[in-house]
């Protein structure tokens, strides 16, 4: 049923290969919550599983085993006794699967697997034994392990140093939809919007299929945002708390980190984060940043020119950024907030900053437009801070740098506007100062090319000659 799935071509091709193998397959599927993991597996296999079990959030081992037994009874048509532990449960599963013919593929799907691994449950130890003692030897067995807690999935499968070390045969990390896939999805639901509106919608929801599925084809873009976020008891009003609580233990600490990052969209270093959050720069902060990065909420970004790659952390989740900027303090104030703020300065500032993030998430499309898709490159950020004689802060910041192996650096200026972007005399001087400051402060010997990334292009005038290359919004709506 892969023909009904929007995007996910690589994932479907990879699953095709797994189904064609003549050995047991342990397939690990993970990614941000709401990104469509369960939907992908359900659609690909058309809901036809020989056994399917879903973990329950914050339920005890006894509750999980009771649910497991109910599903087993439903599948077998026989009343089953609740096993005393997970070892017995996997023996029950083994006995059930052994009764099938060895000539046909047997598909087992464990969804939200991290929720089964409750404290002192012994779940993972039992699963390791099940797989190593029996499952791995069954040529016809396809076992799919799926979960939204990406950090748990990585720790227990990718980084497993015990019985599951190097046991997975296929790893599928689901990314959010690209702009191109988002447009395809909206069209499949008979939603026809201008690409400018799709881009703005993307900067609110990201390419998260669940959020996009809530859009009403009978409403325009502005009305949909009001309806989903600002209406009383709107469907996505309380999504934030649910999202973080279900993914992270001690979610308050994780929320503190992303809230601080949301206030400085250019990013922060680890010492800066430690200072602002009050969380010691030790193993705890390291674990939190890794979990947030693995889950797609935070992006690690290189800082250009540092010999020891100084990592800059940026908030990467669009919904989280939108929540802090517009939803958190707006409860019940205006149910038509988004429609009423079309030309609001705060909204324009948000759009400008968030468009930078959208471009970073579509770097493959940008490189394709620039004709350098096959050139190795590293993307980074750069800024220089200085104070004048009165102590006022100033300096230079570059939105994005593409440092290419062919000794060219694309210095990217990113602008989100409703019309063609006009470079006037003042901005022309600003651009020239940026290039000069960057070259001088980094001692850069490579060729620097100014690249303008805008919604509708740069208007040709006296000052547009400095631009070496251009990327427009339509260029981002292509397959990577």
Q: Note down the domain range covering 411.
A: 364-476
Residue 113 has a pLDDT of 96
Q: What average pLDDT does the structure give for the chain?
A: 91
- The Cβ of residue 450 has, within 10 Å, a number of other Cβ atoms equal to 17
Q: Report d(CA 34, CA 205) in Å as an integer.
A: 11
Residues 143 and 204 in one domain: no
Residue 386's pLDDT is 75
Overall domain count for the chain: 4
φ and ψ at residue 91, rounded to 5 degrees = -65, -40
Q: Which residue, 174, 196, 229, sits at the end of a domain?
A: 174
Instruction: State the Cα–Cα distance between residues 25 and 140, nearest whole angstrom.
Output: 8
The 10s digit of each residue's pLDDT in 240-298 is 988 999 889 889 999 999 999 998 877 888 889 999 999 888 888 988 999 999 999 99
Same domain, yes or no: 185 and 245: no
If asked whether residues 185 and 293 sit together in one domain, one would say no
pLDDT digits (tens, 9 = 90+) for 24-49: 999 999 999 999 999 999 999 998 99
Residues 7 and 41 in one domain: yes
Strand order in the sheet with 51-54: 51-54, 106-111, 141-147, 25-31, 170-174
The model's pTM: 0.91
pLDDT confidence band for 72 (50 / 70 / 90): very high
Q: In terms of domains, do 209 and 344 share one?
A: yes
For residue 397, count other CB atoms closer than 10 A to its CB: 11
Position 206 scores a pLDDT of 96
Let me know whether 41 and 72 are in one domain: yes
149, 118 Cβ separation under 8 angstroms = no
Q: 6 by DSSP, 3-state: which?
A: coil
Say if residue 300 is in the same domain as residue 374.
Answer: no
Any idea which residue has 């449960």 for tokens? Answer: 89
Average pLDDT over residues 132-138: 95
Same domain? For 135 and 27 the reply is yes
Together in a domain, 22 and 168: yes
Q: Which two tokens stand for residue 150?
A: 């990406």
**Percentage of the residues of the chain whose pLDDT score is greater than 90:** 74
pLDDT at 142: 97
| Dihedral sign of CA atoms 82, 86, 87, 93 in order | positive
For residue 389, the model assigns a pLDDT of 52
379-436 confidence digits (pLDDT tens):
988 888 775 555 555 678 898 999 999 999 999 999 999 999 999 999 999 999 999 9
Residues 165 and 27 in one domain: yes
Of the listed ranges 88-97, 254-263, 308-317, 372-381, the one predicted with least confidence = 308-317
260 shares its domain with 217:
no
What's the average model confidence in pLDDT over 454-466? 96
Indicate if the pLDDT at residue 310 is higher than 80: no
Q: Report d(CA 318, CA 325) in Å as an integer.
A: 11
Judgement on whether residues 229 and 244 belong to the same structural domain of the protein: no
pLDDT score of 160: 84
Last residue of a domain, which of 174, 199, 224?
Answer: 174
End residue of a domain, out of 134, 153, 174: 174
Q: Tell me, what CATH number does 11's domain have?
A: 3.40.50.300
CATH of residue 286's domain is: 1.10.10.10
Reported as a single tens digit per residue, the pLDDT across 217-226 is: 999 999 999 9
CA-CA distance, 453 to 370, in Å (whole number)?
11
**Sheet of 298-303, strand order:** 311-315, 298-303, 377-387, 393-404, 408-415, 447-454, 469-472
């Amino acid at each position: 049923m892969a023909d009904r799935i929007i995007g996910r071509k690589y994932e479907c091709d990879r699953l095709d290969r797994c189904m064609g193998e003549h050995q047991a397959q342990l397939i690990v599927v993970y990614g941000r919550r709401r990104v469509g993991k369960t939907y992908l597996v359900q659609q690909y296999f058309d809901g036809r599983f020989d056994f399917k079990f879903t973990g329950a959030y914050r339920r005890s081992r006894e509750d999980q085993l009771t649910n497991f037994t109910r599903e087993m009874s439903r599948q077998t048509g026989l009343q089953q006794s609740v096993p005393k532990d997970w070892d017995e449960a996997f023996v029950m599963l083994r006995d059930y699967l052994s009764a099938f013919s060895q000539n046909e593929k047997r598909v087992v799907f464990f969804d939200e697997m991290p929720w089964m691994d409750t404290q002192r449950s012994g779940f993972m130890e039992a699963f390791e034994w099940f797989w190593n003692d029996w499952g791995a030897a069954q040529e016809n067995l396809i076992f799919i392990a799926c979960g939204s807690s990406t950090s748990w999935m990585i720790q227990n499968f990718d980084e497993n140093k015990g019985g599951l070390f190097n046991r997975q045969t296929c790893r599928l990390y689901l990314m959010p939809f690209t702009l191109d896939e988002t447009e395809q999805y909206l069209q499949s639901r008979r939603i026809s919007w201008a690409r400018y509106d799709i881009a703005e919608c993307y900067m609110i929801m990201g390419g998260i299929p669940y959020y996009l599925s809530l859009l009403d084809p009978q409403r325009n873009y502005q009305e949909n945002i009001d309806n989903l976020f600002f209406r009383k008891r709107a469907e996505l009003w309380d999504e934030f708390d649910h999202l973080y609580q279900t993914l992270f233990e001690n979610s308050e600490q994780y929320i503190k980190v992303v809230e601080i990052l949301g206030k400085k969209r250019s990013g922060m270093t680890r010492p800066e984060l430690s200072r602002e959050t009050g969380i010691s720069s030790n193993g705890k902060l390291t674990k939190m940043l890794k979990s947030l990065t693995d889950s797609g909420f935070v992006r690690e970004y290189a800082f250009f020119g540092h010999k020891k790659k100084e990592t800059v952390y940026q908030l990467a989740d669009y919904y989280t950024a939108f929540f802090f900027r517009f939803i958190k303090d707006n409860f019940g104030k205006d149910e038509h907030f988004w429609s009423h703020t079309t030309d609001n300065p705060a909204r324009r500032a948000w759009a400008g900053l968030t468009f930078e993030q959208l471009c970073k998430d579509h770097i493959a499309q940008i490189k394709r437009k620039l004709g350098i898709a096959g050139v190795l490159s590293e993307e980074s950020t750069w800024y220089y801070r200085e104070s004048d004689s009165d102590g006022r802060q100033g300096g230079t910041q570059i939105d994005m740098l593409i440092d290419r192996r062919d000794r060219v650096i694309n210095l990217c200026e990113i602008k989100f506007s409703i019309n063609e972007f006009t470079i006037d005399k003042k901005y022309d001087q600003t651009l020239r100062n940026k290039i000069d400051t960057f070259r001088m402060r980094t001692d850069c010997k490579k060729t620097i090319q100014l690249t303008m990334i805008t919604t509708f292009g740069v208007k040709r005038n006296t000052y547009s000659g400095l631009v070496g290359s251009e990327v427009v919004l339509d260029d981002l709506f292509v397959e990577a």
